[in-house]
Amino acid sequence: PSTARSWSVASSPSGQYLAAVAFSEQIRVSNDFGITWTALATGGSTNWYDIHISSDGQVIQAARSSGGISVSTNAGASFTTY
Residues 37-79 have pLDDT tens digits of 999 877 666 788 899 999 999 999 999 888 899 999 999 999 9
The pLDDT of residue 3 is above 70: no
Q: From the CB of residue 74, how many other CB atoms can be counted at a distance below 10 Å?
A: 11
Residue 13 confidence (pLDDT): 96
Average pLDDT over residues 2-26: 86
Neighbouring CB atoms inside 10 A of 81's CB total 12
Q: Is the pLDDT of residue 6 over 70?
A: yes
**What pLDDT is recorded for position 26?**
87
How much is the pTM?
Answer: 0.86
pLDDT for the residue 46: 77
* Distance from the Cα of residue 27 to its chain's centroid: 4
| Residue (of 1, 82, 77) closest to 43 by Cα position | 77
Q: Pairing state of beta strands 38-40 and 46-53?
A: unpaired
